[in-house]
Chains A and B, each alone.
Chain A
């Protein structure tokens, strides 16, 4: 073992241990946010499709004109729906 290695070990010994609880929390926050998103798209895409169908009955819009976003914090979910209507495009 080189002197440098030894030195590193000695330095490491005196360093305060890393707070693993914080690491745990950060890892959980990331993975859970990811998994919650994954749980939802089924109904989100379905809803987007149905909304598009309904709105298309009255107004001419494209698929890209509807934006749906779901945010979840503090135990409640916020559904944000953004529909861009064209200036003139009423069908019936």
Chain B
């Protein structure tokens, strides 16, 4: 039985698709059979981030409508062994995404996969609600910025009321906070809320902190999820987040400012004097 993970945020542009791609690649590289689904009907983008845009023939809506079967629509990922992508429709109306249709597709995927990652569209409309409805886990992607934190809080409200688990009064969706575009330097300067600040407000377990990184744009330029850039800070931070998701205890990296060795020397001196 697969576990369904929704990657959501409310606000756009905070890194949902980047996160979905890296989460999917990370899980599959750890040996879990994974499928990642783009729920952003009409604004397909996961295919670009995963680098498979030229191999899209059939999509999610085609499968829901019975115009293609799942095997025809699933694209085998070129990076990871046991990873498949189900792209969103680029042309169809988002109303084609019916709850029964989504259920049917998820039920079929449940049979063969360990993890189903649902990349949610921005907003709190139908598409976003469909992406979260069947979720067992929710990765809430948040920038340390006021509008993003507020929207994330709204999503937490929806997760606890508008999901199947909530409606059936089962154990609630397991929530995980992922802070992205984090800049320790700006936090030290007092220009950016710290991860402790954000965590205090949203009050859900912290899954990971992804630093603001040049590697993210490079990765999307190339169509290779950033977790594959093992040299990069963002790639390593995503890898850590995957380990935590799988239950391992990983210390947080890239969350404090790198202090130049000369500065550090001075601060030691100061301490000695004090």
**Interfacial residues, chain A to chain B (CB-CB below 8 A):** 17, 19-22, 24-25, 27-29, 31-32, 35-36, 39, 73-75
Contact = CB atoms under 8 A, between A and B. Distances in A.
A32 B187 contact: no
Given A35-B153, A36-B157, A39-B157, A28 B201 contact: yes
Interface stretch (B58-66, B100-108, B188-196, B254-262): B188-196
A14 B193 CA distance: 24
A21 B146 contact: no
B203 A21 contact: no
Given A19-B190, A31-B150, A32-B150, A25 B157 contact: no
Given A31-B150, A32-B153, A39-B157, A75 B204 contact: yes
B150 A21 contact: no
B146 A27 contact: yes
Contacts of B157: 36, 39
25 contacts: A17-B190, A19-B190, A19-B191, A21-B187, A21-B191, A21-B192, A21-B194, A22-B190, A24-B146, A24-B193, A25-B201, A27-B146, A28-B146, A28-B149, A28-B150, A28-B193, A32-B149, A32-B150, A32-B201, A35-B150, A35-B153, A35-B154, A39-B157, A74-B203, A75-B203
B197 interface: yes
Given A28-B149, A39-B157, 10 more contacts: A19-B191, A20-B190, A21-B192, A21-B197, A25-B193, A25-B200, A31-B150, A32-B149, A74-B203, A75-B204
